[in-house]
Amino acid sequence: MTSGQPSRHRARRRGRLLRTLLVLGTLAALGAVAVLVVPLLLPPGPRPPFQLPVACGETWQLGTYPGHDDYDVDLFPTEGEAWGRPVLASAAGTVTVAGINGSLGGRTPENPDGPRGRGGGYWVKIDHGGRWETQYLHLLEPPLVREGQRVAQGEQIGRLGSTGNSGAPHLHYEQRRGWDKVEAHFDGEPSGITHDDAEYTVRRTSNNCPG
Ligand SMILES: [Zn+2]
């Protein structure tokens, strides 16, 4: 049994190496989880200076209806054609989603009563920092921005449409703080769209102006 001794040494060394790698791997994984999770546990920052996600000076109707969900805002222009209207970033930020939610369906300006899709259709999500984000649903076409792109306040991110689960061309809009949807604020004022117990609307004029 003269050859048994060196191989036992080798096995013990290999065992030590594997244990060291396991410990290092576990530490690296914990570090990665901490980097991802810790920012989510921090309290949200101050509210960004959100503006209506539509062109400067235009007056739009903001509304909701039973079953829509609290704080969800549907925007319709009070003048002119809704289809294709520019949808603007409410505040500066980074695009985190620019794609399709659910299914598009077939509602277009040429066929407004086409088959209804599911979910948000073409949509965009913007991270404004401090755990604040905005969402823009039912866009007409693929968003004009891509994931990871920085956008300025008032930058056009898409065109208004009726993709996804949408009855008529409009913009479905949400503001979120941390884990929660909150009452949308525009130009420093609460929107007035809170509960979805009843159908109601308010009118606001956009101050999402250049400069
Ligand atoms: Zn909606």
Q: Distance (Å, rounded) from C-alpha 60 to C-alpha 80?
A: 11
pLDDT interval class at 3 (50, 70, 90): low
CA dihedral 167, 201, 53, 148 (to 10 degrees): -60
Ligand 1 centroid distance, CA of 64 (Å): 7
pLDDT of residue 42: 83
- Residue 74 alpha carbon to ligand 1 centre in Å: 5
Q: Give 99 Cα–ligand 1 centroid separation in angstroms.
A: 17
- How far, in Å, is the centroid of ligand 1 from the Cα of 75? 8
The predicted model scores a pTM of 0.84
Q: Per residue in 176-202, pLDDT tens?
A: 999 899 999 999 999 999 999 999 999
The Å distance, Cα 165 to ligand 1 centre, comes to: 9
Joined together, the tokens standing for residue 185 give 């604020």
User: How far does the centroid of ligand 1 lie from the alpha carbon of residue 37, in Å?
Assistant: 30
What DSSP letter does each residue of 133-162 carry, written as one string?
EEEEEEESSS-SS-TT-EE-TT-EEEEBB-
- Which of 13-17, 37-41, 50-54, 123-127 has the lowest average pLDDT? 37-41
Residue 39 has pLDDT above 90, yes or no: no
- Cα(82) to ligand 1 centroid in Å equals 15
Structure tokens at 150: 């920085």
Dist. CA 7 → ligand 1 center (Å)? 70
Q: Is the pLDDT of residue 4 over 90?
A: no
Query: Using one digit for the tens of pLDDT, what is the confidence trace for 62-102?
Result: 999 999 999 999 999 999 999 999 999 999 999 999 999 99
Query: If you measure from the C-alpha of residue 41 to the centroid of ligand 1, how many angstroms do you get, rounded to a whole number?
Result: 29
Give distance in angstroms: CA of 138 to centre of ligand 1: 9
pLDDT cut 90: percent of the chain above it: 86
Residues forming beta bridges with residue 93, ordered by sequence position: 151
Q: What is the mean pLDDT of residues 125-153?
A: 98
Cα 207 to Cα 69: distance, rounded to the nearest angstrom: 26
Strands, E assignment, 17-117: 59-64, 73-77, 86-88, 93-103
